[in-house]
Amino acid sequence: MVSAYTGSQVRAAERPLLDRGEGAALMARAAHGLALAVLRELERTGAVYGRRVAGVVGKGNNGGDALFALAEIARRGVRTTAVLTGGTAHPDGLAAFTAAGGRVTEELEPADVVIDAVLGTGFAGEFRPPLPRPAATVVACDLPSGVDADTGTAGAAVWRADVTVTFGALKTGLLVGRGRELSGTVEVVDIGLGPHLPEPDVRSLDDAAAAALLPRPRDDWQKYSRGVLGLVAGSPDFPGAAVLSAAGALATGVGMVRIVAPDEVRNLVLAAHPEVVGSLEPRGRVQAWAVGPGIADDGGQRRALGVALGSGLPTVVDASGLEALGEFLAADPRSRGSAAEPRLGEVLARIAEEGTVAGEHLVLTPHAGELESLLANFNSASDAPSRDSIESQPLHWAREAARRIGVTVLLKGPATVCAAPDGTAYVQGSGHPYLATAGSGDTLTGILGALLATGTHAGGHGSARPVELAALAACIHQRAGRLAAKGGPYGAGELAQAVREAVALFAA
């Protein structure tokens, strides 16, 4: 499991050590880790001796780290220079730097590696780098200067790092938003904060954590104890979505998929997956629902959405299902529960009255545009965020949506954020841009539906939280996206085979 912390959490963890007078030791460990990373970059591209490393150094402790690191690098026969952006610099760091032969320069001198050490966790407000990004390899000290350690937001001109060496613990801002795009390869240097760190702000499943969470069928189970997924997907206009979601679910592994869909959609699904059982309306027991891909405004499918929402079972709501939810939440209260869609109306009326959809067992899987509409429609539309702000602060808005609506939210994007109503959050950001293809989200809905059906019911794993399974679904989807990309671009129809391979990797 990867854990990440806000800047303030890390600073608070440093506090007891600073109070014990260990500040210099912390900085020495940080600087040593940074120096090793820079030396490694030099070694990767040739010899170390005689090369050039420059620092862009602010006046705070972040700059101090870089000056001590430059001193260590200089002792390996590297020519080191530093531009002091604040006019002054960390006194002891500067003394060590000059004593090791480092030179302070007015302009940034040509270099093989440039250390970005203007600002670290002490950054607040707005920041414009004092210099344009050089063409050299850039190693960011703690985080790219100007990236907000808590949110990952950053001004337009903030430098993109090739490598970020971060101290004490991974910062949340390096996992999400622009911070993720700007940080390159991230390396965490242990400076001894471990015992002082609180519960992490966010987590990310690595391979081992994904493997541990993956529901595995027991030897003595049959198909029903393994879990049945009820899938409400597809309509005459969008039949393919149902095929893709069913494929995602089957490749993830589930006891049975029951599809609810109009005849022509069912026929198409059955032609591709004869093992799927289908009906026009919900029938038979299931352990979880996945609702929404391609249902458009089909009346029967919206009724089925009501059945799923009213069931109290773990339920994924995606795509047109989110639209139906949003439209309903926005509608005049008197029109709610219309005769055309009695079940949906009944359930949603209760939701609206109680002010919450209530329950982390409901997992909404919007992309930023869908979350924008949902939040605009839900209760306090007055401070609803734009799509742009959701994209720049995905963690914040996924959490807000989960808290306000009272559900689990899986917010899709280059990094996918999963949040529970209590603020528990996971960020999964190792996909592939080829995943941005029509129908890729429908596949994800199937994956998550299967995990909910097999991973939350009493006969199954039982203990996993929906937010964990949502993160696992994103993790499987992203691994599949990377595996499939080895063969070049793909359509979502080709993703299911890679999903199967990804699950096999985690199950091994």
Ligand X SMILES: NC(=O)C1=CN([C@@H]2O[C@H](COP(=O)(O)OP(=O)(O)OC[C@H]3O[C@@H](n4cnc5c(N)ncnc54)[C@H](OP(=O)(O)O)[C@@H]3O)[C@@H](O)[C@H]2O)[C@@H](O)CC1
- Tell me which residues touch K ion (CB under 5 A): 116, 120, 141, 145
Q: Is 338 labelled as part of a ligand binding site?
A: no
The C-alpha atoms of residue 408 and residue 371 are separated, in whole angstroms, by 13
Q: How far is the CB of 196 from K ion (least distance, A)?
A: 22
Instruction: Kindly state whether residue 294 participates in binding ligand ADP, applying the rule CB under 6 A.
Output: no
Interaction residues for ligand X, span 17-36 (CB under 6 A): 18, 23, 26-27, 30
Asked if 180 touches ligand ADP (CB under 6 A), the answer is no
Answer yes or no: is 367 a known binding residue.
yes
Nearest to K ion of 152, 446 (CB atom): 152
Question: Interaction with ligand X in 55-74: which residues (CB under 6 A)?
Answer: 58-63, 65
Q: At what angle do helices 320-330 and 342-354 cross, to 10 degrees?
A: 60
124-153 footprint of ligand X as x/- string (CB under 6 A) = xxxx-------------xx-----------
CA distance 11 to 33: 18
Q: Could you say which DSSP state residue 291 is in?
A: E
One residue of 204, 377, 440, 454 binding ligand ADP per CB under 6 A: 440
Distance CA 66, CA 69 (A): 5
Looking at beta carbons only, is 40 or 59 nearer to ligand X? 59
Assess 413 for contact with ligand ADP (CB under 6 A).
yes
Q: Which is nearer to ligand X, 17 or 309 (CB)?
A: 17
Nearest-approach distance from CB 484 to K ion, in angstroms: 36
Q: Which of these ranges, 133-141, 401-409, 410-418, 455-463, lies near ligand ADP under the rule CB under 6 A?
A: 410-418
Structure tokens at 407: 């559900």
Q: Is 164 annotated as a binding residue?
A: no
Determine if residue 45 is labeled as part of a ligand binding site.
no
The answer to the question of whether 413 is labelled as a binding residue is yes
User: Contacts with ligand ADP: how many residues (CB under 6 A)?
Assistant: 18
Tell me if 65 is assigned to a ligand binding site: yes
Q: Which of 373, 376, 377, 368 is nearest to 396 (CA)?
A: 368
> Token digits for 161?
């790092």
CA distances from 471 to 70, 448, 461, 478 (A): 40, 9, 16, 10
The answer on whether 82 is annotated among ligand-binding residues is no
Least distance in Å: CB of 116 to K ion? 5
Spatial contact of 447 and 293, defined as CB atoms under 8 Å apart: no
Beta bridge partner(s), residue 428: 416
| Among residues 29, 303, 399, 412, the one that binds ligand ADP under rule CB under 6 A | 412
d(CA 103, CA 99): 10
Query: Helix 466-485 vs helix 495-507: angle between axes, to the nearest 10 degrees?
Result: 120
Question: 493's torsion region: left (phi>0), alpha (psi -120 to 50) or beta?
Answer: alpha
Q: How far is the CB of 499 from ligand ADP (least distance, A)?
A: 12
The residue (of 142 and 442) whose beta carbon lies closer to ligand X is 142
Each as own residue / partner, the long-range contacts of residues 37-41 (CB below 8 Å, 24 or more positions apart, any chain) are: 37/139, 37/163, 37/165, 37/187, 38/69, 38/73, 38/113, 38/115, 38/139, 39/73, 39/76, 41/112, 41/113, 41/137, 41/139, 41/162, 41/163
Cα separation values, 321 from 138, 303, 395, 464, Å: 45, 11, 22, 24
Least distance in Å: CB of 179 to ligand X? Answer: 13
Residue whose beta carbon is closest to ligand ADP? 441
Site residues for ligand X, 362-421, by CB under 6 A, read none
Considering CB distances under 5 to 8 angstroms, the limit depending on partner class, which of K ion, ligand ADP, ligand X, none binds residue 232? none
CB closer to ligand X, 123 vs 378:
123
What tokens does 330 get? 């926005």
Is 414 annotated among the ligand-binding residues? yes
- Binding of ligand ADP by 444 (CB under 6 A): yes
CA distance 300 to 147: 48
CB of 142 to ligand X, least distance (A): 4
User: Any binding-site annotation on 416?
Assistant: yes
Asked if 395 and 202 count as a contact pair (C-beta separation under 8 A), the reply is yes
Q: Quote the CA–CA distance of 261 and 471 in Å, as a whole number.
A: 28
442 is in an annotated binding site: yes
The bridge status of strand 52-57 relative to strand 79-84 is parallel
Annotated binding residue 142:
yes
Q: Residue 379, annotated ligand binder?
A: no
- Looking at residues 80 to 99 of the shown chain, list those that interact with ligand X (rule: CB under 6 A): 86
DSSP 350: H
Site membership for ligand ADP, residue 433 (CB under 6 A): yes
Cα angle: 24, vertex 29, 32; to 5 degrees: 120
- Site residues (vs ligand X, CB under 6 A): 14, 18, 23, 26-27, 30, 58-63, 65, 86, 119-127, 141-142, 167, 191
The binding site for AMP consists of: 412-416, 441
The binding site for (6S)-NADPHX consists of: 61-65, 142, 241, 294, 367, 442
- Site residues (vs ligand ADP, CB under 6 A): 319, 367, 412-414, 416, 431-433, 435-436, 438-442, 444, 477
